[in-house]
Amino acid sequence: MSNRNRIILIIVAALAIGVIGFSAYFGLKSGNSSSYKEHIAEAEKYIEYEDYENAILAYERILEKDPDNVDAYLGIAECYAALGDIESAVGYLRQGYARTRSAKLDLALAEYEEELDGSGTTSKDDVDNKQGGTTVLLNTDAFRMFGGNNYNDYLRSGIESPVVSNQIANVRLQHVDATVHFTNTETQPDALDGTVINGDSYPYLIEVDNAMSLFGGGYSITYDVLSSLNLPDLRIVTHELYGNAVTFNYSGCIVTIESDSEGTVTFESRNSIVPEASLHAASELEDVKASVTGHVIDAQTGEGVPYASIAFHADNQVGVVMETVETESDGSYSVELEPGFYIAEVSCDEYVTIYSELDLGSAQTEEEKDFIITKETAEGEIRVVLEWGTYPNDLDSHMVINGTDVYFANKEFYSGGTLVAELDHDDVDGVGPETITLHDSSFSFRYFIHNFSRTGDIGVSGARVTIYLPGESPITVDIDSSISGDYWNVFTYENGQINIQNSAG
Ligand SMILES: [Ca+2]
């Protein structure tokens, strides 16, 4: 993920000329006969993510069109109750009952009124614990970067100018709120030469601004929840600087985070991450091979592709082939590679061959890498495949054709009884793929991505969209990492022309 900008297929952000510039938001609001079903599906998915504010907005959109919709009143009341705001829940139910005289609303109203009389106050603690328990996930991409990157690797992924004083060089990372520190140590005596950082050296210390960014965000995390993540060597220790701290080893990092005496960590906790590579002399790191494992996955089914061939080229796609492997019957593969930069050429009968980069830092001993490939498209078909990193959990692809949005809540679009476009499935647990196929390329459309779960920023999601046209090389668009907000406008397709946007929506 750190090195995507090197790939040859990359499409640089281009200004789309003559593109209709309406905001991505209106794609969601576009009215049509199935919008009720879509809003219900949206609201239910928001509830799954405990994003009650957006669920309420989705129910309110139903009420705008249909003020007598009993399910929408009930849904809103449930959301407010989940937020601990029983008074608002009761308010909505009263309003709904006054309009509809529905027995269902009357019953719910009685239950909530009883709860309101009983407790009087809201149960914010319950809500916090609930959120803490379900949204916590290990930020594996960050740990992999901290454990594997030397100075050259950080340079490639983007840094600000190093600040050197007292023989310590502090390097601020771009796109990641963290500082990496370099200095000469016993194991790395040549890390710094005056103000110049040696490209092969590892930071002796890394600090993140927000300790919770290591766990997918949020306010705090208890020791119980940390324990549920199965972190190797996790324990509470006394620390000379922090007082109490939790410590664990993960992905080549020794991690220490300030905590209270019970081991609870908050977003403000001071922290230090030490890459184990910085503790070994350079000579010990030579001849260490990385074991790379993963799957080749079919973009439409999400299943492994058996007997696909992966050729690992050194440095670039016409470079020497260092290793070739074939996937097993479940689509899995494993290979041992020297540290370095590779282009993997993935091919299989009836599938479009892809080229994908693989960056193995010199301290890396394990790497997981999946490759997503898709069958050749038929004449007149266009297939668009979305993939991304571990965070956010849920990005959604949207293809808007003639004002109809094809997305998770409306997976198919028919015209005159013929299926024109379909979403294969909604990936909700990170990485992808999520694939939309347009069966009739005489239709124009625009394609955008929505950060549904918001468990991470879209700009650093590593999102990549690959556009497959029959008989042509696939076009790859990697998200511009400066994009913020919840929407990414990727491209439009009009009159047979693809116009890359790669802009915030
Ligand atoms: Ca999704």
Give pLDDT tens digits for 468-491.
998 888 999 999 888 888 999 999
| Spacing, Cα 394 to ligand 1 middle (Å) | 5
Cα of 451 from ligand 1 centre, angstroms: 8
Q: What is the pLDDT of residue 365?
A: 72
Q: Output the CA 190–ligand 1 centroid distance in Å.
A: 46
Centre of ligand 1 to C-alpha 428, Å, is 5
**CA 414–ligand 1 middle distance (angstroms):** 22
* Ligand 1 centroid distance, CA of 397 (Å): 7
Q: How far is the CA of 426 from the centre of ligand 1 (A)?
A: 4
Task: Give residue 71 CA to ligand 1 midpoint distance, Å.
Answer: 25
Question: Residue 306: its pLDDT value, please?
Answer: 97
On average, the pLDDT of the chain sits at 84
Q: How far is the CA of 182 from the centre of ligand 1 (A)?
A: 39
Distance 504 CA to ligand 1 centre (A): 18
Residue 238 to residue 245: CA distance in whole angstroms = 6
35 CA to middle of ligand 1, Å? 19
- Average pLDDT, 10 consecutive residues per value, the chain (505 residues): 35 29 33 68 88 90 89 92 89 90 89 74 35 58 89 89 92 91 91 90 94 85 88 91 93 94 94 91 66 93 94 77 94 91 93 89 77 92 92 92 93 94 88 93 96 84 91 90 91 94 92
Alpha carbon of 387 to ligand 1 centroid (Å): 10
Q: Are 265 and 257 in contact (CB under 8 A)?
A: yes
Q: Hey, where are the domains in the chain?
A: 11-16+376-504, 31-134, 136-280, 287-373
In the structure encoding, which two tokens stand for residue 327, read together? 């996937």
- Ligand 1 centre and the CA of 430: distance in Å? 8
For residue 364, the model assigns a pLDDT of 62
Cα 53 to middle of ligand 1, angstroms: 19
E strands, 145-204, in order: 163-165, 168-172, 178-183, 192-193, 196-197
3-state secondary structure of 226: helix
**CA 41 – ligand 1 centroid, Å:** 13
CA 120 to ligand 1 center in whole angstroms: 39
Q: Give CA torsion, residues 347, 351, 352, 358, to 10 deg.
A: -40
CA distances from 20 to 65, 177, 181, 438, 489 (A): 27, 35, 46, 20, 12
CA of 386 to the centre of ligand 1 (A): 9
Q: Which of 152, 364, 198, 176 is nearest to 276 (CA)?
A: 364
Look up the pTM and report it. 0.57
Query: By CB neighbour count within 10 A (0-12 exposed, 13-18 middle, 19+ buried), where does 230 fall?
Result: exposed
What distance in angstroms lies between residue 433's CA and the mean position of ligand 1's atoms?
9
Q: Tell how far the Cα of 247 is from the centroid of ligand 1, in angstroms.
A: 34
Cα 449 to middle of ligand 1, angstroms? 9
Separation of 435 CA from ligand 1 center, angstroms?
A: 10
**Multiple choice CATH, 31-134, 3.40.50.2300, 1.25.40.10, 3.90.1150.10, 3.40.50.300:** 1.25.40.10
How many contiguous H segments (helices) and E segments (strands) does the chain have?
A: 11, 31
Question: What is the CA(136)–ligand 1 centre distance, in A?
Answer: 19
In the CATH hierarchy, which fold is given to the domain comprising 11-16+376-504?
A: Lipoxygenase-1 (2.60.60)
- Using the mean position of ligand 1's atoms as its centre, give its distance from the Cα of residue 60 in Å: 23
Q: From the CA of 1, how far away is ligand 1's center (Å)?
A: 20
Which residues are near ligand 1, the ion (C-beta closer than 5 Å)?
A: 394, 396, 426-427
Q: How far is the CA of 283 from the centre of ligand 1 (A)?
A: 45
Centre of ligand 1 to C-alpha 301, Å, is 14
Name the CA radius of gyration of the chain, rounded: 25
Contacting residues for 265 by C-beta, under 8 A, at least 6 apart: 211, 212, 220, 221, 226, 246, 257, 258, 259
pLDDT for 100-132, tens place per residue?
888 889 989 888 888 877 654 433 333 333 333
Q: Which residues contact 376 (CB under 8 A, 6 or more apart)?
A: 350, 351, 352, 470
CATH 2.60.40.10, domain 287-373, yes or no: yes
Q: What spacing in Å lies between the alpha carbon of 438 and ligand 1's midpoint?
A: 18
Q: How far is the CA of 392 from the centre of ligand 1 (A)?
A: 10
CA of 452 to the centre of ligand 1 (A): 7
Distance 474 CA to ligand 1 centre (A): 22
Percentages helix, strand, coil for the chain, rounded to the nearest 5?
A: 25, 35, 40
How far is the C-alpha of 236 from the C-alpha of 264, rounded, in Å?
A: 10
Ligand 1 centroid from CA 422, angstroms = 14
Residue with tokens 């490759």: 371
